[in-house]
Amino acid sequence: MSYTLTETGKVLTETQEGITMPADYSFATVNDYVHGMEVHFEDLQALCLGMADHIDKLRRGEFICQRCGLRKDSERSTEHEF
């Protein structure tokens, strides 16, 4: 796995098994990815499938914090990374 970083160290894209995808699905990150110079139709198809899967997981509440392992629907109010 490899990452593309900004000058401030924020991860923009991650490449896994030859497939490059945005690091997160925020509007700014996806917009930058879609308008990139080397993005092909197949990359956009993969992005749409990834976003659809992400939306399904959000609806089911399946996200778990990467730092502490708590589920998104947990009652604790701390800073989490989903």
Query: Can you list the positions of beta strands (E) in 1-82?
Result: 2-5, 11-16, 19-22
Least confident span in 3-12, 28-37, 69-78: 69-78
Q: What is the pLDDT of residues 9-48, one digit of tens each?
A: 888 888 888 888 888 888 888 898 898 888 889 889 989 9
Please give the structure tokens belonging to residue 12. 């923009």
The whole model's pTM is what?
0.61
| pLDDT category of residue 7 using cuts at 50, 70 and 90 | confident
- Which residues have C-beta within 8 Å of that of residue 50, sequence separation ≥ 6? 21, 25
Q: If you average pLDDT over every residue of the chain, what do you get?
A: 80
